[in-house]
Chains A and B, each alone.
Chain A
Amino acid sequence: MTAVADPPAETTAEIGKSRLRKEDQHLITGRTTWTDNMSLPGMVHLAILRSPMAHATITSIDTSEAKKRPGVIAVFTGQDFAETQGNVPCAWPVTPDMVNPGAPSLAVTQVNHVGEAVAVIAARDKVSAQDALEAIDVEYEPLPAVLDMEAAIADGSPLVHPNTTSNRSYTWAFESGAAGTGAPIDDAIASPEVTVTRRFIQQRLIPAFMEPRSTVVQPIGEGVTVWSATQIPHILRTMLALTLGIPEQKVRVIAPDVGGGFGGKIPVTPEEIITTLVARRLGKPAKYTESRSESLMSAHHGRDQIQDVTITAKRDGTVTGLDVHLFADMGAYLRLVGPGVPLLGAFMFPAIYKFPAYRFVCEGIFTTKTPTDAYRGAGRPEATFGIERIMDELAVELGRDPMELRRQNWITHEEFPFTTVCGLTYDSGNYEAATAKALELIGWDELRREQAERRERKDPVQLGLGISTFTEMCGLAPSRVLGSLDYVAGGWENASVRVLATGKVEVVVGTSPHGQGHETAFSQIVADKLGVAFDDVEVIHGDTQSSVKGMDSYGSRSLVVGGIAIVQATDKVVAKARRVAAHLLEANEDDLDFEAGSFTVRGVPGGSAGSSMSMGEIAFATFTAHNLPDGMEPSLDSDATFDPENFSFPHGTHLCAIDVDTETGRSTIRKYVCVDDVGTPINPLIIEGQVHGGLAQGIAQALYEEAVFDDAGNLTTGTFVDYTVPSASDLPSFTTERTETPATSNPLGVKGVGEAGTIASTPAVVNALVDALRPFGVNDIQMPATPERVWRAVHSGAEKSDRAEGGTTAYGGASTGTSDGSDAKGEQL
């Protein structure tokens, strides 16, 4: 190979450009394909009767009156499908002894959370179906609600599920000494110079995608075609086949326009199964679309952890150990990846710091609440919150500047690749650069001076400054790692590239977008790789009949895994095209340069006849197949299935300056600056948009949102009146910048950006709030930090009173509203 010159330079005409989105045109003109828009001849409309009880035995259901209502075609209960409905699937048995009591789509004998489906009505139109719900008579025998995680696993607690012996589903543990990835945690904890222990509460959140979930099922022969507002058409196909016993090849799933997901459309849902069951039973197409209140009540929730975090350090600030114990609320049932969500945080608690010893224990617990599963970030926001909050607390304990303490302990840019205490190898990063840029952008030193001045004069509006220096693991996931974590599927992604006769290109991907701009970003990649025009690339996705293989979209994987599959497929196309070009140009393949979509014989003056062929010319020559190399198939089409070797590790520094009115409790974000490093940018415009939206959701966890249950287990935040998704007037404008440290683990250098803003921002905001209120003796504020909670913190901060305990929005009722009052460091607000 010594005769071969350097490989042709990559053209980068498209990658890195802020292309406006291809997706927009139909969305801004109302020519959309939301599932609920779908109407099929003969279609029946479904309405679902949901449990008003958190926990009860169903003693009888009388549907006879409902069946007589005008327009009603059929009424079904769990008994009607008891033999066929199987269980709503859970694909992540995190331990060999994890208890999964089963999850019927329609309750058969017992309901375990408010909103659980109890009966379904099929009618000629939606109104008739909904009207008839009131005519179904259900008798319930109440059982005690199980709402508090710690009480749920105490001796004598009522059981959520009668077929279990405990409300503990699993205990999953990692310890660096035992794993051989670090020192034993017991040694670190036994003789620390400094120890700080805190209890943090990750309140329950609701993904609250804007498009309510909807499913249309058309039975066709033995099989079905399913349209669904889902993030996972491919997984749904396989799971519907396995759950209902329909041969997989007879199941087609289509995810048309999907209006947001944020993890909320990851699981296979009871409603998808119910709609399929009814359509098949009636032999008619059926549609179910949830209302917003049904969505908030029965679509899965997220977060909901109690985090007991202990950090140990030397007096000089060097961290020596991190010990994390989680209680994670599974809700009433295990959903698709629900048990695994906290584990995605297990590897992220050590974050960017060089801990020598680490332990993580998580107990997954059943309660009579809505099931939980992935919500944007899925495990990593919780971990990032825990570590970034405790780093601030350690800094206070040591009397150190919180940024200096971080700097002392983080992995420096010279130390990459760096293998962490939990065995992950971070390939690249530059925390110093991102931090320096962020500090400069926000004007940190000036803000600190202002803060001191306002403290000095006892300004009723105090200024707080918060830090979050975060990393995350993206690009789910190396299949071997998923296997080691007992996930039942792989983490590869598939793409195929088809070169049409006219030189236009179709790219079929297994990822399934719901707002991320895949069509645009993937077109940019293909345009560069094949040297074709951006507009000549069509991205096809979301239909298992055309996109036959895929693992879908979640965990910031679409670009990092799916994008690399595209690159590999285009490499194969170029290799085939090179062979055709060499044949037709009568040159050696090794003597051809490929640049900007043309093969040119090296050393032959440009423009001379017979010295160059474009991809379009090669495509047409391959299509006609009149003169191809001997034995070559007449096709340039190629596909690739990419399984990543490692995760990617975006990182960044987020800084928040917040004004806190100590007289009213009102807090207002004054400045929010983040510098994210997501590797090589494909489309900076889309990156910025992803960060904006992520920030809004992370800030909303800090300040606004919480799913609240009353002591009978009723969701009291079941509408957008009560579940307060922020509006434009609740949020500031953000300053979002980037540093670029390419990932070394993939050929694009990309890291993923879907979740970064959400993961990083929550602790930045809470650290800022607490920073503002330190002079009042406050060392934590429970999220969401409503004005009431802030006010209470200010007025009882130094006194260890009951704080938020008495408030109606306290997490999980009074018993988990505060931590053990005997520990001065464990105060909760």
Chain B
Amino acid sequence: MTRINVNVDGISYTDEVEPRTLLVHYLREQLGKIGTVVGCDTSNCGACTVALDGQSVKSCTLLAVQADGGDITTVEGLAAEDGTLHPVQQAFHDHHALQCGFCTPGMMMAVRDLLQDNPDPSEAEIREGIEGNLCRCTGYQNIVRAVQAAAANLSSTGGQS
């Protein structure tokens, strides 16, 4: 077992983990952060995407020990403390960018990162930017709209939250 220290959604944790434990399993099974989900075994679907030190990562592709010392944000930490939704969350709701909602946590985390890198993406850039995250329900069209709306909102309010 290896000791790790992580901060997840503003809470500090010190835990013993097996070296082989994937970050997503640590989050779900040891920390109870069940908002982040597992959709595949091969890092294709992106449902498990979280932010590690500000960068989106597929948490099934990372060992928990690799996150030692890291600052992690999951879907559960996206909204403000007073419950105000993050612009990406709000945009997903406003534009019907989710149906079953299983891919949504990872998709929103990927979008958040995309908009950090490119605050004003074209449709093609959005589609390429989220191609690592699969959605089976929406056909992506409303996700694209939501990303465009979130981008506009973030730029008008002066940037990323």
A residues neighboring B (CB under 8 Å):
20-21, 23-25, 27-32, 34, 36-37, 125-127, 208-212, 257-260, 262, 291-293, 514-517, 685-686, 688-690, 692-697, 719-721, 725, 727-731, 733-734, 757
Contact = CB atoms under 8 A, between A and B. Distances in A.
B131 A257 contact: no
B89 A210 contact: no
Contacts of A125: 29
B115 interface: no
B96 A688 contact: yes
A693 B93 contact: no
A685 B139 contact: no
Question: Is chain A's binding surface mostly helix, strand, loop or mixed?
Answer: loop
Interface stretch (B51-59, B64-72, B102-110, B152-160): B102-110
Nearest to A260: B100
Given A293-B41, A517-B99, A721-B42, A29 B89 contact: yes
The SS class assigned to the B binding surface is loop
Contacts of B6: none
Interface string B11-42: 00000001000000000110001111111111
A527 B109 CA distance: 35
A727 B106 CA distance: 14
B100 A210 contact: yes
Contacts of B41: 291-293, 719
A728 B130 contact: yes
A24 B98 contact: yes
B45 interface: yes
Given A28-B89, A29-B75, A719 B99 contact: no
Given A28-B85, A259-B102, A515-B100, A292 B40 contact: yes
B101 A727 contact: no
Interface in B124-161: 124, 126-128, 130-144
B118 to A, nearest CB: 15
B109 to A, nearest CB: 10
Contacts, number: 175
Contacts of B133: 727-728
B131 A719 contact: no
Interface residues of B, number: 56
The winner among A20, A27, A293 for most chain B CB atoms within 10 A is A27
11 contacts: A25-B93, A28-B89, A34-B37, A212-B39, A260-B99, A292-B40, A292-B45, A686-B96, A689-B142, A696-B138, A728-B126
Contacts of B127: 727-729, 731
Contact of A21 (B76, B89, B96, B124): B96
A210 B36 contact: no
B123 interface: yes
B112 to A, nearest CB: 12
Contacts of A695: 139
A260 B45 CA distance: 14
Contacts of A725: 134, 136
The 3 tightest CB contacts between A and B, nearest first, are: A30-B35, A259-B102, A27-B101
A693, A719, A725 — most chain B CB neighbours (10 Å):
A693
Contact of B34 (A30, A697, A733): A30
Nearest to A691: B139
B92 to A, nearest CB: 5
Contacts of B92: 24, 28
Contacts of A292: 39-42, 45
B132 A28 contact: no
A30 B88 CA distance: 14
A125 B25 CA distance: 12
A701 to B, nearest CB: 13
Q: Which of A34, A515, A727 has the most CB of B within 10 A?
A: A727
B99 A720 contact: no
Given A30-B34, A515-B101, A734 B139 contact: yes
B139 A260 contact: no
Which residue among B45, B96, B104, B105 has the maximum number of chain A CB atoms within 10 Å of its CB? B96
